[in-house]
């Protein structure tokens, strides 16, 4: 499983890295970015789905 952030949609609310800091970080301007090339480690699938569900702009997707 992988996740990605659509940078065109992201508004920098930070919910992704607040909820799933092992999967997402923030850039210099506070926008979300994926860590580890978007690879979701075994056991973190639920956390990835939580981040997807809590993004107000629906900028995160599972691929």
**pLDDT value of residue 27:** 96
| DSSP-based three-state secondary structure for 25 | strand
Q: pLDDT tens digits, residue range 18-32?
A: 999 999 999 999 999
Q: Are 16 and 24 in contact (CB under 8 A)?
A: yes
**pLDDT value of residue 44:** 97
Q: Are 19 and 54 in contact (CB under 8 A)?
A: yes
**pLDDT value of residue 3:** 98
The arithmetic mean of pLDDT across residues 20-47, rounded, is 97
Q: Are 48 and 62 in contact (CB under 8 A)?
A: yes
Q: Are 13 and 56 in contact (CB under 8 A)?
A: yes
């Amino acid at each position: 499983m992988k996740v990605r952030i659509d940078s065109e949609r992201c508004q920098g609310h930070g919910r992704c890295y607040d909820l799933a800091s092992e999967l997402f970080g923030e850039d210099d301007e506070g926008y979300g970015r994926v860590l580890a090339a978007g690879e979701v480690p075994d056991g973190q699938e639920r956390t990835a789905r939580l981040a997807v569900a809590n993004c107000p702009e629906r900028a995160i997707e599972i691929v």
